Amino acid sequence: MELTIYLAGEIHSNWRNELKEKAKSLQLPLHFVGPMENHDRSDLIGEEILGEQPNPIFRDEAASNINNLRTELLMKKSDLVIALFGEQYKQWNTAMDASAAISLNKPLILIRPEKLHHPLKELSNKANVTVETVNQALKVLSYIFDTE
């Protein structure tokens, strides 16, 4: 039984690779999906496909049409969602994705440093499990397959 996991979170760092490599070394039957990780391409995909937009707000709107389509489709095909929060960036799209997962009844693992516990308290409360590191998230995933 393979599981598809949606990895929600900022696309400025390499955290998804770390998680995928560890999962691979643990030989977990997991297939990972997520957003476009090339940050510039993600921001400009609207103009890349639809052409130049009148101003930055419309540029963002055009890109979000396409990025949201990708997220909705891939999240729908997922069995579980991991949402990672860090100290940089507003990450309102990450909170949006995490909340969508909950509403869609997809189990949600939240990864956040301890110092962010207060602003994330409501989301953390609704998530299935809150952990602090990618390692802990993987242990939860691994546990799903463990028989003893």
Site for a second copy in 81-100 (CB under 8 A): 85, 89-93, 95-100
Q: Do 75 and 6 touch, CB atoms closer than 8 A?
A: yes
Residue 19 C-beta: closest distance to a second copy, Å: 15
Contacts for 95-99 with beta carbons within 8 Å, 24 or more apart?
95/123, 97/6, 97/8, 97/71, 98/8, 98/123, 98/127, 99/123, 99/126
Residue 119 C-beta: closest distance to a second copy, Å: 4
147 touches a second copy (CB under 8 A): yes
Pick out residues in 11-40 that bind a second copy (CB under 8 A): 31, 33, 36-38
Residue 148 C-beta: closest distance to a second copy, Å: 4
